[in-house]
Amino acid sequence: MAITIKNAQQIEKMRYAGQVLGEALHELRKLVKPGTNCLELDKFFIDFITSKGCTSNFKGYGGFPAHICISINEQLIHGIPRDRVLQDGDIVSIDAGCVFEKYHADSAISVICGNSKDKKYDTLLELTEKSLYLAIDQVRAGVRIGTISSTVQKFIEENGYHLPTDYSGHGIGLEMHEDPFVPNVGIENTGMRLVPGMAICIEPMVQIGTNKTVVADDDWTVSSKDGSMTAHFEHTILVTDGDPEVLTLFKPKEETE
């Protein structure tokens, strides 16, 4: 896919898709509790975004059978929601996307269900999310992709965690996945320069024990090869002439009025 530069009208559509998605994930976070069935989360999501005039961009993508990805514990990404009840202490990663008038948004969160089994799991989520926001802080016109990538890599590896290299962030717009690739590892001041009107997804995917992964027999679910715990956070970000705009950041209604 080519890189697309969005005009004001297109950005407004992506902004709406992003706000709907941010609110949907905010509500899903509250539903992650012991006893919740993963199929309930999938149904809640599609009902919610449909009520807001949006559609799912995951369902049917490459044959994916659900509206969101739910990856649990050692599952890193692309987990298929199944008839599975969440347990106390599960690390639940939810990756979701939606479309408004052909324009896409994509975001992911990781949540500990109920009570954490180990403080190191809380730290895993905290550091993974922090690496995302450190990378977002680098998003400026003229900055190279490698600077974003190296920001994630340096922070995560300095803290003793691991980044799989087979999966990356991406551009987004008329398609869910567009150029450029936005890896989680890289060299500062290398790669393509960002320009205003580009939209990218930054998505650190972090594992405690290894950077190696395996794909399940369903051909979708990606897990850590050693079975260690994982976390995944993602936002859709617009490059502007100034500070970056996080399109999928949840904003309560009183903040948007």
200: pLDDT strictly greater than 90: yes
Give 72-116 pLDDT, tens digit per residue: 999 999 999 999 999 999 999 999 999 999 999 999 999 999 999
> For residue 203, what pLDDT band results from cuts at 50, 70 and 90?
very high
Q: Is 232 annotated as a binding residue?
A: no
Instruction: Give the Å distances, CA to CA, from 128 to 53, 122, 191, 211.
Output: 31, 10, 23, 14
Token pair belonging to 181? 């690739």
Q: Is 235 annotated as a binding residue?
A: no
Q: By the 8 A CB rule, do 211 and 152 touch?
A: no
Give 118-165 pLDDT, tens digit per residue: 999 999 999 999 999 999 999 999 999 999 999 999 999 999 999 999
Q: Is 177 annotated as a binding residue?
A: yes
> For residue 2, what pLDDT band results from cuts at 50, 70 and 90?
confident
- The full set of domains in the chain, from first to last, is 8-240 (3.90.230.10)
Q: Is 234 annotated as a binding residue?
A: yes
Q: Is 217 annotated as a binding residue?
A: no
As a residue count, the chain comes to 257
Locus of tokens 């890193």: 76
Q: Is 106 annotated as a binding residue?
A: yes
Give 22-77 pLDDT, tens digit per residue: 999 999 999 999 999 999 999 999 999 999 999 999 999 999 999 999 999 999 99
255: pLDDT strictly greater than 70: no
